[in-house]
Structure 1
Amino acid sequence: MSRVRRDGRLVSDWQPSALQQERLAYRRRRTVRSGVIAGVSTLVLVALLVVGIGSTPGWPRVRETFFNVDRGWEALPVVAQGLWLNIRVMLVCAVLIVVLGLTLAILRTLRGPIFFPLRIFAAAYTDVFRGLPLLLVIFLLGFGVPALQLRGLPNQAVIWGGVALVLTYSSYVAEVFRAGIESIHPSQRAAARSLGLSHRQTLRFVVLPQAVRRVLPPLLNDFVSLQKDSGLIAVLGVIDAIRAAQLETAEDFNFTPYVVAGMLFVALTIPLTRLTDWVARRQGWYGGGGGPV
């Protein structure tokens, strides 16, 4: 039963039944029990790992070489400064990758024989750059293009490393976008055209909003990989987090700076990974059997 108070608010007199209260209490007990079991099992597993690894003969040497706390704190500012370059490269490349990848996806989905050359170009682009290893593309552009000494072209290694990331990742992102565009039922296009929308308007206001929403989880996964692969530009001599850790290691042959760089990359990647999982759950990708309908 519900009644209206003098101030106009609706107040409900409903109370859960005894059976419902018993069910809620049982669920709370099960939740607490599951949490306790999970915590205890995790602690036991961690303790076994610590005891097992710590009892090995070579652990003191490994701890001093890879997990030296004092050396890690000493190298942290230098490695973090290099990580800031990785972050900037990743952000700029992510924007360019989305633009280029979406353009390639649209070219591959154009209808009509007049667009055949554009479809062939987009297909060849994605095939070539998905087939080439990223490290090879970085070498070819980072060392090859500056060696040509062409006027008007920059010679900075970080720029050509970023170009290699954009060219390679845009081929993967293009296929993600194309899958989303082709997943839209043809009736959506037909309905939009029957309302008087042009092909461009149909693509912009009907197809792309639905397609992008459907491919957000795999798209975010690609950007998680981009965060990690931005460290590959270190092979060109760019002082990023990996290169800074290498220079720090060369001073005393202690590999703790590499561990520090790895921890910083993990700390940078985890938030985007959790965001990807959250978006995937909202889209119905995890649990409940299958993706969006």
Structure 2
Amino acid sequence: MAPQVSIDLARVAQPRQAARPAPVGSARTLLLVGYLLSALTTALTGYAAWLTITVAETGVWEIILGLATSVVVVLALCTFVPLARGSKQQATSARALAADNIVEARTYRSRAGQSAWIAIGSCLPIIFIATFTLFLLANDHAVQTTFFDASFMAKSFVAVTVAFGENIKIAVLAEILVLIWALLIALARLAPGKAGRPLRWLATAYVDVFRAVPSIIVIYLVGFGLPLAGVPLFSDLGPMWSAVLALTLTYGAYVAEVYRSGIDGIHWSQVSAARSLGLSYGKTMRFVVVPQALRRVTPPLLNDFIGLQKDTALVTIIGTVDAFTQAKIYSSNYFNLSSVTVVAILFIIITIPQTRFVDRLLERDARRQRNKG
């Protein structure tokens, strides 16, 4: 047994071999892709700038496109700056690797790759801008003349903007009614017990039907069907109120589901605590559950209302003189769609700030949840 013990001790006494570090990669391929993409971006923007000078329609658009493409060319050239910095970092990484300084080699290799990605990421939006400019100048700048005629946009701007007020009015009135109507539908879907079963069935059927039928069909049926049927009160609504009613019916189904998801998200202990204090089901929903649910569903509610605002353009089919209707009048008279572009710009102006506001609310809620966690 003694020889065996001595052999084992000798084996244990042998020094362990140090683990070999993982190899240090290289960012040369990524930098090469970046250089090729930057060169392509510069060539594309240069070509767009040259076409702007030689093809674009003289006047305001020639100045605007000329300045824009000049700035884009400068931005394309600037993409070589992070690539040059990345090349220096890659060289530093190679020298550190030759000196067996693994940590420094990996650090500068990571920085070189990051610089290459910065250049590649910067090229993509510049390529999009240059491609869009070429699209405008296609077919002897026919696209620009058809959709972005500056003089025609200025001519129709006042009339279209005034008519856009009708879209705003319809959207605001419909949103107010939707908030009330959808909450009633959501509460009906959550009616408790056997006595509430008929209400649940009716509310569920309403939500299923109006979420399935396109908005334009509901608007058409309400705007033309009710006057044809001679329904008392509803037949004399007029185009504007018919549009409000149709949008309320349609978006009431969507918003009711938003309300219901918020109410279902309230922990059951809140209801139990309220009922143990003697509150009825109605008071529990009114004072405890619904206020908490409203705070939770504010971002999705705003998203639905953004969609409602866009759908106000559909009311043109029932004769409401909104911005789109006014733009179509100009387009049919002058055979140019620049007035419709004005409508699109107006919707963008009122929608994007709301979208950013929704994003801020979502970030705030996420931050609040992280702090609680």
TM-score (norm 1): 0.81
- Of 139, 153, 164 in structure 2, the residue corresponding to residue 83 of structure 1 is 164
One-letter amino acid of the structure 1 residue matched with residue 285 of structure 2:
L
One-letter amino acid of the structure 1 residue matched with residue 293 of structure 2:
A
Provide the secondary structure at the position in 2 that maps to 1:265: helix
Runs of at least 5 residues in structure 1 that lack an aligned partner in the other structure: 1-32
Structure 1 residue 197: Cα displacement = 2.2
Structure 1 residue 77: Cα displacement = 0.6
Structure 1 residue 149: Cα displacement = 2.6
Provide the secondary structure at the position in 1 that maps to 2:291: helix
Structure 1 residue 43: Cα displacement = 6.7
Report if the CA contact (8 A) 1:281-1:287 is conserved. no
**What are the superposed Cα offsets for residues 91-129 of structure 1, whole Å, 9 maximum, x if unpaired?**
000010010000000111111101111111111110111
Match of 2:262 in 1: 180
- Of 117, 121, 127 in structure 1, the residue corresponding to residue 198 of structure 2 is 117
Task: Go from structure 1 to structure 2 and tell me whether the alpha carbon gap of 1:86 and 1:38 turns closer, same or farther (over 3 Å shift).
Answer: farther
Provide the secondary structure at the position in 2 that maps to 1:114: coil
Provide the secondary structure at the position in 2 that maps to 1:284: helix
User: Is 1:260–2:373 an aligned residue pair?
Assistant: no
* Separation in 2, partners of 1:185, 1:42: 46
Task: Go from structure 1 to structure 2 and tell me whether the alpha carbon gap of 1:45 and 1:286 turns closer, same or farther (over 3 Å shift).
Answer: farther
Match of 1:214 in 2: 296
* Separation in 2, partners of 1:286, 1:68: 48
| Cα RMSD after superposing both structures | 2.5
Of the two structures, which has the highest relative contact order with CA contacts closer than 8 Å and spacing of 6 or more?
1
One-letter amino acid of the structure 2 residue matched with residue 80 of structure 1:
T
Match of 1:107 in 2: 188
Match of 2:220 in 1: 139
User: Is 1:92–2:173 an aligned residue pair?
Assistant: yes
Single out whichever of 109-118 and 165-174 deviates more from structure 2.
109-118
- Of 327, 335, 345 in structure 2, the residue corresponding to residue 245 of structure 1 is 327
User: Is 1:197–2:279 an aligned residue pair?
Assistant: yes
Structure 1 residue 46: Cα displacement = 5.0
Structure 1 residue 193: Cα displacement = 1.5
Match of 2:211 in 1: 130
Task: Go from structure 1 to structure 2 and tell me whether the alpha carbon gap of 1:199 and 1:51 turns closer, same or farther (over 3 Å shift).
Answer: closer
One-letter amino acid of the structure 1 residue matched with residue 230 of structure 2:
Q
- Of 127, 140, 153 in structure 2, the residue corresponding to residue 72 of structure 1 is 153
* Separation in 1, partners of 2:208, 2:128: 45
Structure 1 residue 264: Cα displacement = 0.4
Provide the secondary structure at the position in 2 that maps to 1:95: helix
**What are the superposed Cα offsets for residues 179-213 of structure 1, whole Å, 9 maximum, x if unpaired?**
11111111111111222322222111211111111
- Of 349, 361, 365 in structure 2, the residue corresponding to residue 283 of structure 1 is 365
* Separation in 2, partners of 1:89, 1:75: 22
One-letter amino acid of the structure 1 residue matched with residue 224 of structure 2:
F
User: Is 1:223–2:301 an aligned residue pair?
Assistant: no
Match of 2:143 in 1: 62
One-letter amino acid of the structure 2 residue matched with residue 195 of structure 1:
L
Structure 1 residue 40: Cα displacement = 5.4
One-letter amino acid of the structure 2 residue matched with residue 258 of structure 1:
V
**What are the superposed Cα offsets for residues 153-173 of structure 1, whole Å, 9 maximum, x if unpaired?**
314122112111000000000
One-letter amino acid of the structure 2 residue matched with residue 244 of structure 1:
Q
Match of 1:272 in 2: 354
**What are the superposed Cα offsets for residues 208-265 of structure 1, whole Å, 9 maximum, x if unpaired?**
1111111111111000101100111011111101000000111111110000010001
One-letter amino acid of the structure 1 residue matched with residue 254 of structure 2:
Y
Which structure dedicates a bigger proportion of its chain to helix? Answer: 2
Match of 1:7 in 2: none
Provide the secondary structure at the position in 2 that maps to 1:266: helix
Task: Go from structure 1 to structure 2 and tell me whether the alpha carbon gap of 1:50 and 1:104 turns closer, same or farther (over 3 Å shift).
Answer: closer
Task: Go from structure 1 to structure 2 and tell me whether the alpha carbon gap of 1:131 and 1:75 turns closer, same or farther (over 3 Å shift).
Answer: same
Report if the CA contact (8 A) 1:105-1:175 is conserved. yes
Task: Go from structure 1 to structure 2 and tell me whether the alpha carbon gap of 1:43 and 1:185 turns closer, same or farther (over 3 Å shift).
Answer: closer
One-letter amino acid of the structure 2 residue matched with residue 147 of structure 1:
L
Report if the CA contact (8 A) 2:189-2:203 is conserved. yes
Runs of at least 5 residues in structure 2 that lack an aligned partner in the other structure: 1-114
Task: Go from structure 1 to structure 2 and tell me whether the alpha carbon gap of 1:285 and 1:216 turns closer, same or farther (over 3 Å shift).
Answer: farther
Report if the CA contact (8 A) 1:53-1:59 is conserved. no
Task: Go from structure 1 to structure 2 and tell me whether the alpha carbon gap of 1:52 and 1:64 turns closer, same or farther (over 3 Å shift).
Answer: closer
One-letter amino acid of the structure 1 residue matched with residue 226 of structure 2:
V
Report if the CA contact (8 A) 1:157-1:236 is conserved. yes
* Separation in 2, partners of 1:259, 1:286: 40
